[in-house]
Amino acid sequence: MWDFSTDPDYQAKLDWVARFVQEEIEPIDVLYPGTADPYDRESKVFLDVVRPLQDQVREQGLWAAHLPPSLGGMGMGQVRLGLLNEILGRSQWAPMVFGTQAPDSGNAEILAHYGTAEQRAEYLEPLLDGRIVSTYAMTEPQGGADPGGFTCRAVRDGDGWVINGEKWFASNYPHAAFVIAMVITDPDVPVHRGSSMFIVPRGTPGMEMVRGTGLSGEPVGEGVHGYLRFTDCRVPAENLLGEPGTGFTIAQTRLGGGRLHHAMRTIGQCRRAMEMMTERIASRTTRGEPLSRQQTVRHALADSWIQIEQFRLQVLHAAWQVDQSVETGDPDHKRAARLHISAVKAATPRLLVDVIYRAVHLHGALGVSNELPLMRMWQGGPVLGVADGPTEAHKDVVARLLLKDAVPAEDPLFGSEHIPTRLAAAREKLAGTLGEAAGAR
Ligand SMILES: Cc1cc2nc3c(=O)[nH]c(=O)nc-3n(C[C@H](O)[C@H](O)[C@H](O)COP(=O)(O)OP(=O)(O)OC[C@H]3O[C@@H](n4cnc5c(N)ncnc54)[C@H](O)[C@@H]3O)c2cc1C
């Protein structure tokens, strides 16, 4: 039952992916490094270079691999997907070339699970085909981690709904053909039962972008993370996804697998940083010998490898838990999957920050410069710590699930591992066999 090998056919696919990413996609990363560049459907590089590469991915049967076969994916399960994402994580453009980029992959999952036949034809098909990109809008300016503070609201009006309120950090809005927005429809019940999901097509009157926000280092006012305002924005009733009040359940559909994909992509980036670190310390000399002869430098390399390997096993184990829960439908497996996903999400930023910091540092001034990708990769650490829910919130989930079956000690003062208490019990248990010898211990 215990086997860490990858089956040879799939390994051959992964080898193809690794070569393809390095030879065909990484040059695009260097020429078009903007975070928004992959999402621009009108650009020459997308139409003339990326489209033909996407066709090659389709020929390999690897297009949108996260989806089930009924939607054109491979239905390969999270462990295999993890191994694929580990390679894709090395490149900014690779997820787009393979049809697995966020937030479209999650939005496609929502539409596949909850969309009507009409919604699927209008939004899912072009999304899966890579002809359009989309946005997911849940966070609000006054708080994202606590949905209890959301106020953006939709009210039923005749044959439609009217939305008023604001959303914040809605990624890729400037290029999106539609927005999936989570909005309060019943303020009288907790948000988990009172929110709903709507599809709001681009150009719907009343939906505007107040400004685009970028990440640090990008020009102010030009970012792709939309600060959106809805003012009497009317959408027809058929734009509701699922039933009213099911927004939260729908949101959970999209986040689980994505967190593991981000974790494996992070491992891919850390491996790349470690390769750079290894090359650097083997090539650079100090005091007449390679940097790699210095003990602290060797430890930085070893610590990075150990951390990556530990985390990789954790993520693949979490992926296996998810596959088990899907296969069996067992509530215990589902709970285990949830626990493992949140644990992975909480641990991901630390790996990136630690490993890439070492790589930056060992490259000296070159490492902190804009002539290597390392500082930009490092910035991904804090981003991973808040996007998709802050680390603290995920640790809370882990603790809550761990405490669910916790049983208070019979002796609340000293607990069940108290040695004098256990010694007395052991003496009593073995007195019949050991006689006085038991009492003398
Ligand atoms: C690059 C990027 C892309 C994003 N894309 C999207 C998107 O496409 N759509 C979307 O809807 N949102 C998106 N977000 C928003 C993201 O989901 C939120 O930033 C996140 O949920 C945190 O919300 P917040 O920023 O309002 O922080 P807050 O909720 O204000 O939290 C700030 C800090 O308070 C602390 N904190 C919060 N809650 C707790 C708690 N329970 N226990 C202890 N400490 C706590 C943490 O330190 C936390 O980092 C994106 C964010 C980033 C950075």
Which of 225-234, 326-335, 427-436 is the most confident on average?
A: 225-234
Q: Which amino acid is at 168?
A: W
Nearest CA to ligand 1 atom 48: 390
Query: Hey, is 79 helix, strand or coil?
Result: helix
Nearest CA to ligand 1 atom 53: 387
Percent of the chain past pLDDT 90, that is, above it, reads 84
Q: How far is the CA of 231 from the centre of ligand 1 (A)?
A: 24
**If we measure between CA atoms, which residue out of 212, 291, 241, 226 comes closest to residue 107?**
241
**If we measure between CA atoms, which residue out of 391, 315, 398 comes closest to residue 353?**
391
- Assess contact for 273 and 374: CB atoms under 8 A: yes
Domains of the chain: 8-115 (1.10.540.10), 134-241 (2.40.110.10), 252-403 (1.20.140.10), 407-441 (no CATH)
Q: In the beta sheet, which residues pair with residue 142?
A: none
Nearest CA to ligand 1 atom 2: 387
Q: How far is the CA of 169 from the centre of ligand 1 (A)?
A: 9
C-alpha to C-alpha distance for 276 and 88, rounded to whole angstroms: 17
Query: Hey, is 36 helix, strand or coil?
Result: coil
- Per the structure block, which two tokens stand in for 227? 């600060």
In this prediction, residue 255 has a pLDDT band, given cuts at 50, 70 and 90, of low
In this prediction, residue 437 has a pLDDT band, given cuts at 50, 70 and 90, of confident
Count of H-run helices and E-run strands, the chain: 18, 10
Other CB atoms within 10 Å distance of the CB of residue 252? 11
Residue 41 has pLDDT above 70, yes or no: yes
pLDDT of residue 190: 94
DSSP 8-state code for residue 67: S
Residue 70 has pLDDT above 80, yes or no: no
Q: How far is the CA of 385 from the centre of ligand 1 (A)?
A: 8
Which of 140, 175, 386 maximizes ligand 1 atoms within 8 Å of its Cβ, making it the mutation to test the pocket?
386
The mean pLDDT of 60-67, rounded to a whole number, is 90
Residue 1 has pLDDT above 90, yes or no: no
The mean pLDDT of 196-203, rounded to a whole number, is 97
Nearest CA to ligand 1 atom 31: 145
Other CB atoms within 10 Å distance of the CB of residue 172? 23
Residue 438 has pLDDT above 80, yes or no: no
Rg (CA), the chain: 26
Secondary-structure percent of the chain, ordered helix, strand, coil, rounded to 5: 60, 15, 25
Residue 391 has pLDDT above 90, yes or no: yes
Burial (Cβ within 10 Å: 0-12, 13-18, ≥19) of residue 167? buried
The mean pLDDT of 373-391, rounded to a whole number, is 95
- Assess contact for 279 and 135: CB atoms under 8 A: no
Name the average pLDDT for the chain: 94
C-alpha to C-alpha distance for 120 and 71, rounded to whole angstroms: 11
Residue burial 200-227, b: 16+ Cβ < 10 Å; e: rest: beeebeebeeeebbbeeebeeeebbbbb
- Per the structure block, which two tokens stand in for 119? 């919604």
pLDDT of residue 175: 94
Q: How far is the CA of 170 from the centre of ligand 1 (A)?
A: 12
DSSP 8-state code for residue 143: B
In this prediction, residue 74 has a pLDDT band, given cuts at 50, 70 and 90, of confident
- Report the run of H or E that residue 285 belongs to, with start and end: strand 285-286
H helices within 329-418, ranges in order?
331-362, 364-368, 374-386, 391-403
Cis amide prior to 174 (ω within 30 degrees): no
- Per the structure block, which two tokens stand in for 238? 């058929």
pLDDT of residue 441: 75
Q: How far is the CA of 384 from the centre of ligand 1 (A)?
A: 10
C-alpha to C-alpha distance for 57 and 63, rounded to whole angstroms: 6
- The per-residue pLDDT for range 407-430, each reduced to its tens digit, is 999 999 999 999 999 999 999 999
Burial (Cβ within 10 Å: 0-12, 13-18, ≥19) of residue 67? buried
CB within 8 A of 331, min separation 6: which ones? Answer: none
- Assess contact for 108 and 77: CB atoms under 8 A: no
- Assess contact for 36 and 224: CB atoms under 8 A: yes
- Assess contact for 388 and 345: CB atoms under 8 A: yes
Nearest CA to ligand 1 atom 43: 392
C-alpha to C-alpha distance for 252 and 78, rounded to whole angstroms: 16
In this prediction, residue 68 has a pLDDT band, given cuts at 50, 70 and 90, of confident
Tell which atom from ligand 1 comes closest to the C-alpha of 137. 11
In this prediction, residue 258 has a pLDDT band, given cuts at 50, 70 and 90, of confident
